[in-house]
């Protein structure tokens, strides 16, 4: 029984049109490679005039949908920067394709071809580099936070400043913490924290009067 030829989807992208970028140059070369390697081209997907800074693109999304539907075996691109805006985005796409059993081939990037062991290894190296980059960024952020705290600077969410005088007046009239916080336009947790920091919470026993009559 003759083995079925791999079904290939060809993806091309240019960010601008009419400025020396011709998307057909990419597609022509992809078709040539497909013919040389014995692939059956089942679809061409071209995002013409679409920035690579966008993770979501009409033709890219359509192609990924066809891959998830089991319509293709290989996705071929002219260069990786036509497909992904960053290493992280590339790895996300590659992971999605792997989950679908679809290979990724870049005809202009040496050794990026997951139909071969060396190509799969190249993507693993890219993943390791991306993981190291994330770890280094986290270390730099944490070091910056530690330095700021050592200098007495606040880190995290901005502190909500509250004039506690009207809050204390409402509490002393017998209003609850929830109603007081709502009237002040802050959360009950924030109001309790600010009162605690000011030494005004919990309120002393016996402080407060019954709230003024009003609608039930």
- In order, the DSSP letters of 121-171 are HHHHHHHHHHHHHHHHHHHHHHHHHHHHHHTT---SSPPPP--HHHHHHHH
Cross-strand pairs, 10? 44, 76
State the pLDDT at residue 20: 55
| H or E segment to which residue 98 belongs | helix 87-99
- Report how far Cα 190 is from the mean position of its chain's Cα atoms: 30
What confidence score (pLDDT) does residue 18 get? 54
For residues 15 and 54, what is the distance between their CA atoms, to the nearest angstrom? Answer: 10
- Strands 74-77 and 103-106, by their bridges, are parallel
Structure tokens at 78: 């002219």
One pLDDT digit (tens) per residue for the chain, 216 residues: 567 899 999 999 988 755 557 899 999 999 999 999 999 999 999 998 887 667 788 999 999 999 999 999 999 999 888 888 777 788 888 889 989 999 999 888 767 888 888 877 877 776 666 566 666 777 777 777 777 777 776 565 556 667 788 788 788 877 888 888 877 778 888 888 888 888 888 877 655 544 444 443
Residue 205 has what pLDDT?
Answer: 66
pLDDT at 214: 47
Q: What is the 3-state secondary structure (H, E, C) of 173-187?
A: CCCCHHHHHHHHCCC
Q: What does each C-alpha distance from 50 to 81, 129, 139 come to in angstroms? A: 13, 27, 35
Q: 144-147 long-range contacts, Cβ below 8 Å, gap at least 24? A: none
Structure confidence at residue 109 (pLDDT): 78
* Beta carbons of 72 and 103 less than 8 angstroms apart: no
Catalytically active residues are: 15
Cα separations in angstroms, 26 against 12, 20, 22, 46, 47:
6, 13, 8, 10, 12
pTM: 0.57
Supply the pLDDT for residue 72. Answer: 96
Quote the pLDDT of residue 17: 59
């Amino acid at each position: 029984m003759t083995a079925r030829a791999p079904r290939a989807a060809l993806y091309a992208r240019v960010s601008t049109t009419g400025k020396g970028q011709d998307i057909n140059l990419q597609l022509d070369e992809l078709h040539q490679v497909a013919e040389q390697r014995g692939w059956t081209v089942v679809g061409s997907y071209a995002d013409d005039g679409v920035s690579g800074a966008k993770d979501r693109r009409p033709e890219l999304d359509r192609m990924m949908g066809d891959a998830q539907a089991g319509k293709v075996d290989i996705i071929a691109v002219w260069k990786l920067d036509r497909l992904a805006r960053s290493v992280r985005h590339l790895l996300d796409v590659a992971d999605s394709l792997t989950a679908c059993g679809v290979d990724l081939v870049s005809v202009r990037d040496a050794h990026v071809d997951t139909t071969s062991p060396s190509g799969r290894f190249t993507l693993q190296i890219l993943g390791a580099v991306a993981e190291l980059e994330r770890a280094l960024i986290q270390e730099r952020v944490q070091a910056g936070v530690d330095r700021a705290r050592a200098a007495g600077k606040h880190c995290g969410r901005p502190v909500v400043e509250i004039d506690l005088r009207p809050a204390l007046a409402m509490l002393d009239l017998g209003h609850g913490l929830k109603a007081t916080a709502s009237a002040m336009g802050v959360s009950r947790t924030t109001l309790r924290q600010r009162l605690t920091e000011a030494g005004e919470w919990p309120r002393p026993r016996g402080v407060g009067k019954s709230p003024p009559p009003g609608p039930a």
